[in-house]
Structure 1
Amino acid sequence: MDNYLRSYLLLFFAFLLCCICLTQCGRPSTPVGEALFKITKNKVYKELNNDSLKRYLQSYLTRPSSKFKNPNYLRNFYAENDYQPILLTKFYPDSSLFSLIDYLEQLEEHGLSKSNYRLNELKELINGLGGKDTVKNLTAVYNHLIEAELLIAESLTNYSFALQYGQVNPRRILNRYYIPVKRPDSLVFKNVLLTANLKHYLDSIQPNAKLYKRLQERLRKSRETKENRSTLIANMERLRWKYTKDSTGMVYVNIPAFELNVIKDEQLISKMKVVVGKADGHETPMLSSMIHSVQVNPVWHIPTSIATKEILVQAQADKFYLANHGIDVYYKGEKHENADSIEWSGYNKENLPYTFKQRPGNTNSLGLIKFLFKNGSSVYLHDTPVKATFNRSMRAASHGCVRVEQPLNLALAIFGEGEKYNTIKEEMGSVDPVARTIKLKPQVQVILDYFTCTEQAGKLVFYQDIYKQDSILYRALK
């Protein structure tokens, strides 16, 4: 009886184990397969094998491909996540992938092109997951899943980066753009794909600046000319670029507006006209730096380019030009004591051995004060003896530096009332001017920027695109 019972129990447990195995074999072996089968009832998803899926995805990512903007980020992300289609697993069951499609359908409202985001291909892949004609066999399933997963990752990250950082890196496409804008890195890429709630995330990254909204509304409602559209779209892209601004204190120059604003604690405290660089190779650069000092009654070390193209020509036409404008001549670092005797007609821009400095005074091209900040373009803010230029509407007339209409007011705005400001005011009024440097502590941020459209009193105000940068940006976004 014992042997019979033992045999019966062994047969019973063997039968039970077999049933369990058969039951398990009928279940999807991957989370994504389980989710897709539950929604689509396509039995082919039940056949998915986790190891095979990993091998397919890993193999796909190792192929050379020009389909992806950040292939290395993709490879690293999926390697860290065991080569699992985690986006499909998370976002197909709750239909939030269709929120991504909805937002991509609205790309043109941001001035962006749908063709850059492979929208039609993405829709076909996502919709095809539920079609039995698309995924007839296991090989087709693996290929379709992987292509859908990776294109979702590509579209989502590209869209996220464009809205939060701008579609283009301005430092790569614009001449003389030196502002250190923030750009997405591998950590940002990873965090986008690890988001838990896709709809909430997509809502959260929509630009909400007032100017951006107004540009968007103008673009959406009006039938603009191509030139006007390029202006709207270029400025929307500029607003998406991110760089550090010190809200506690900042000197902000908008080059196309020919305007300087001093901002403290996010309030405008001073505003004045400026003259900027000519659009002939002397364009004022876009940059961010810190004003560290001023030089009152500055000495102008005349650049070689200006010396050969302008100063030499003037000296050849009038031998008293240098003396009348307080310009000293130097040869190998030593001052030439008898510059009037030099026969300037014998020199040209190729063989000119002299350098020039302009002494402090009312004729100095830098005026009575210059504001100094570190940059690689040797530019600064400065006064000027030529005040008439500020009355022009078109004020692109300098060699790259920014001439300031009210330099004493600017000094007051950044130094404040006190000993240093009083010294600046006194020295600027001196009848015997001597160059003197005065440190600014704490230093104040200065930004030279470029916007051809701003908002004033709730209305859009447009400026001439003096450096033709709107068209460059517009083409890059297409």
Structure 2
Amino acid sequence: MCRNNRTNHTLDTELAFMKYFLWFSFLIFSFFIVSCKKKEHTKVSESDKKEVIQSKFARNYPEFDLSILQESLKAHTTNDSVLKSIYIATEFNPVWIHDTLDTKRLYTFIDILNQVEEHGLSPELFSSSKIKMMADAIDSGTFVNNLDTVYKIMIALEEISTRSAIKYITGMKYGFTDPKSLYKKDYDIVTSAPDSLFYNNLYAEIKKDPILAVLNSQPSDDIYLKLREEYKILRTRQETGFKEIVSGDVTYKLGDKSKYIKDIADRLVLTGEYKPDSISSDSLYIKLDEGLLAAINTFRRRNSYPEEAEVGKLTISALNRPFEYYLAKIRANMERYRWKRTKAKHNKHIEVNVAAAMLVANNTKSDSLPLISRVCVGSVRNKTPLLQSDISYMNLNPVWNVPTSIAQKEVAVLQKKDPTYIKRHNMKLYKGGKEVDVSSIDWKDINPSKFSYTIKQDPGGGNSLGLVKFMFNNAFSVYLHDTPSKLAFNRKNRAVSHGCVRVQKPFELAFFCASPVTEVYKDQLYYSINKPPVSEEGKKLLKEQRLKKLPNIINIDKDDRISLFIDYYTAFMYPNDEVLYYADDIYEYDKLILDALNPNQTAEKKKVDK
């Protein structure tokens, strides 16, 4: 069964009853029926032996026959691929209707649908207003003299409510969108999808208690609950709002005073980063003191910006973002966390968050703190693919086999301008596996777009891969690696690579991969890449010429596997940290998710598809 797709039969059913909705709106608006306050009586429902109240429904529709409704339900659902199985399981007994309209169950369900905004979703994804309109119309006695219409509306109500419950539960457990269809070729992470076992259990749960089934489907992961909590807080703050900071291009340094600094302070007070000292001499908060600068850097950390000793246009622009900016991020990431990866994490795990340009390496069997490192990721033009794998080996002193695209678009172009470029960068040319003398080529006649030589860059400090790379199976020929270009790690925007992931702390990551390691092992690794040992024992062994080098290829033991995910989150948490962090949507992937979750966008797409 395709995820979240409606069948043509379902669309036809909804369209068939759309003509009633306008009629409902007029009649529901006009009716003002007050139920008689006479004593209610109880009877036993023939459909499932539950005790129900003989309510307005029984009085308004005394000729109502459940068996007629059951036959009609059977006729409507027999050829419906979504609903057929569940109503076979209930023997075509309605889920939401017994001998009378089960208003308590239906209105509880409607309340749950209307609260789905807490999950960053629209109630209209689940036809909430349609369900309420039909339930109100029947419950109010609008069709008291038209029982045939009542049967038709009740069938529509039953079908749409059940379909919405299935959609709600399935989406909460697996996501309402398919990441592969959103990210297309740049996504190679396997996520769970509902199967026949899931649907069999789902139908049984809905048959037993649809309300409990709906409530139990809501995700309960710590990160998801944190997102819901933050979403609720931000929606409250959104109503308060804040004053825009209009300081222009001015940069404020420690000790500077300005009326706009007060606006910065007020903004940070609102979101909790700044808690002014009540005994401060600067009661107006117009001075950039150490306390306020610390709060600004807290804001920067939460937004994945580098910390600084001053405040300029970039940070003020971020401070001016409306709360809807963050609400949209949370909506998109709640959906991401509803997707369920099928690959399990090993005890040693590496997670790269492309959006934040950060790496976290964690060992659940170790007491050591997680390794957290900045990384550089692919540019918007050369996106880093999202994938799952295991680290297979480390390569010390790697040779860089320059990709053809880079050889043609960059190296050949630069060599034409500067005949010393290839030699200065410690590169060599090959043709048919044999080395070619760079000086033997007339570079003036070379067309870079047709450049067919193989280029390799020898190991060393200037190698584009640095001194170590981390290899893993993947369909994109990407890897994690060191880099000689260290300055990029200090930038806010670190989406600068050709697609591979450059690691700011490559040696710490190497020690994590090889862990547990001794101090001497660390010195062996340093010595292997022509760096001096650090420990006293290592220095002694080197002096005695007994410090051994490690092999250039260090395989990862299959009994100590290291899982790897390269993924994309713009709202996330770090291990052992209760704070929610944000990252810029550098690849505009949030928009793909939000558009797919927008019921108006979905409706437009259906029109186009037709």
TM range (shorter): 0.7 to 0.9
Contact 1:360 1:435 in 2 (8 A): no
For 2:234 and 2:468, how far apart are their aligned partners in 1? Answer: 43
Q: Residues 99, 247 of structure 1: CA spacing in aligned structure 2 closer, same or farther, 3 A cutoff? A: farther
How far is the alpha carbon of 1:384 from its aligned partner?
A: 0.8
2:216 aligns to what? Answer: 204
Query: Paired residue for 1:3?
Result: none
The correspondence for 2:553, drawn from 425, 437, 442, is: 437
Q: 2:391 aligns with which of 279, 288, 291?
A: 291
- Which of 549, 570, 587 pairs up with 1:452? 570
Matched, 1:123 2:224: no
> For the Cα contact (< 8 Å) 2:386–2:567, is it kept in 1?
yes
CA distance, structure 1, for counterparts of residue 144 and residue 395 of structure 2: 74
Contact 2:409 2:449 in 1 (8 A): no
Mapped partners of 2:424, 2:213: distance in 1: 67
Secondary structure at 2:460's aligned position in 1?
A: coil
Distance (whole Å) between structure 1 residues aligned to residue 99 and residue 528 of structure 2: 69
* Match of residue 301 from structure 1: 401
Whole-angstrom distance in 1 between the partners of 2:104 and 2:200: 22
Following the alignment from structure 1 to structure 2, what is the Cα–Cα distance between the partners of residues 45 and 328?
A: 92
Residue number among 183, 187, 191 corresponding to 1:177 in the alignment: 187
SS in 1 for 2:168: helix
Q: Cα deviation per residue 1:65-105 (whole Å; 9 max; x = unaligned)?
A: xxxxxx52323333454433245349965823322111111
> Matches of residues 386-401 of structure 1 in structure 2 within 5 Å?
386-401=485-500
Q: For residue 30 of structure 1, report the CA deviation from its aligned partner.
A: 6.3
Structure 1 segment 55-454 matched on structure 2, within 5 A: 55-61=71-77, 72-89=81-98, 93=102, 95-134=104-143, 136=145, 139-175=148-184, 176-195=186-205, 196-208=208-220, 209=222, 210-223=225-238, 224-243=322-341, 244-246=343-345, 248-265=347-364, 268-280=369-381, 282-332=382-432, 334-418=433-517, 424-429=525-530, 436-441=552-557, 442-454=560-572
2:589 corresponds to which residue? Answer: 469
Partners of 1:90 and 1:370 in 2: CA distance = 69
- Count residues in correspondence: 441
Identity value in percent: 30
Q: 1:28 to 1:203 in 2, by over 3 A?
A: closer
Aligned-partner SS, 2:132: helix
Distance in 1 (CA, whole Å) between partners of 2:51 and 2:59 is 11
* AA of the residue aligned to 2:155: I
**Which one-letter code corresponds to 2:345 in the other structure?**
D
Shift of 1:135: 6.2
CA-CA distance at 1:446 after TM superposition: 0.9
Q: Distance in 1 between matches of 2:573 and 2:398?
A: 36
SS of aligned partner of 2:326 = helix
Q: 2: distance between equivalents of 1:425 and 1:94?
A: 72
Q: CA 1:320/1:335 → structure 2, altered by over 3 Å: closer, same or farther?
A: farther
Q: Give secondary structure in 1 for the equivalent of 2:374.
A: strand
1:62 is displaced (CA, Å) by 5.7
CA distance in 1, matches of 2:146, 2:52: 14
Q: Secondary structure at the match of 2:218?
A: coil
Per-residue deviation, residues 154-190 of structure 1 (Å, max 9, x unmatched):
1111122232222211221125222212222343234
Cα separation, 1, equivalents of 2:50 and 2:373:
66
Contact 2:375 2:502 in 1 (8 A): yes
The residue matched to 1:397 in structure 2 has which SS? strand
Gaps of 5+ in 1: 1-26, 64-70
Aligned Cα root-mean-square deviation (Å): 3.3
Q: 1:418 to 1:33 in 2, by over 3 A?
A: closer
Residues 220-270 of structure 1 show CA distances to partners (whole Å, capped at 9, x for unaligned) of: 312245433322321222222222452622111112222111112187421
User: SS of the counterpart of 2:377?
Assistant: strand
Measure the CA separation in 2 of the matches of 1:97 and 1:103.
10
Larger Rg: 1
Q: Is the 8 A contact 1:42 1:132 kept in 2?
A: no
Residue aligning to 2:19: none
Amino acid at match of 2:379: K
**Which SS does the other structure have where 1:294 is aligned?**
strand
Output the CA distance in 1 between the equivalents of 2:169 and 2:129. Answer: 18
Any conservation in 1 of the 2:573–2:580 contact (CA below 8 Å)? yes
Matched position secondary structure for 2:125: helix
Alpha carbons of 1:464 and 1:28: their partners in 2 closer, same or farther (altered >3 Å)? closer
Instruction: Check conservation: 2:480, 2:500, Cα contact below 8 A.
Output: yes
The Cα shift of 1:330 comes to: 2.0
Inter-CA distance 199–84: structure 2 relative to 1 (3 Å threshold): closer
- Per-residue CA deviations over 1:14-72 (Å, capped at 9, x if unaligned) read xxxxxxxxxxxxx999617998895532585766364x555423432367xxxxxxx52
Distance 1:361 1:221, change over 3 A: same
C-alpha contact 2:378 2:384 (8 A) present in aligned 1: yes
**SS of the counterpart of 2:556?**
strand
User: Cα offset for 1:198?
Assistant: 3.5
TM-score, normalised with respect to structure 2:
0.65
Q: Secondary structure at the match of 1:370?
A: strand
Deviation at 1:444, TM superposition (A): 0.6
Distance change (3 Å), C-alpha of 1:461 and 1:37: closer
Structure 1 residues 110-154: Cα deviation after superposition (integer angstroms, max 9, x where no partner)? 221122211111113334444444365554344233222211111
Q: For the Cα contact (< 8 Å) 2:346–2:562, is it kept in 1?
A: no
1:437 positional shift: 2.2
Structure 2: stretches of 5+ with no match in the other structure: 1-42, 239-321, 533-548, 599-610
What letter corresponds to residue 563 of structure 2 in structure 1? Q
Superimposed CA distance per residue, residues 290-341 of structure 1 (whole angstroms, 9 cap, x where no aligned partner): 1111122112221111111111112112222222222221223x22332221
Please say if residues 263 and 269 of structure 1, whose CA atoms lie closer than 8 Å, have aligned partners that are also in contact.
Answer: yes
Partners of 1:72 and 1:418 in 2: CA distance: 57
Conserved 8 A contact 1:28-1:47: no
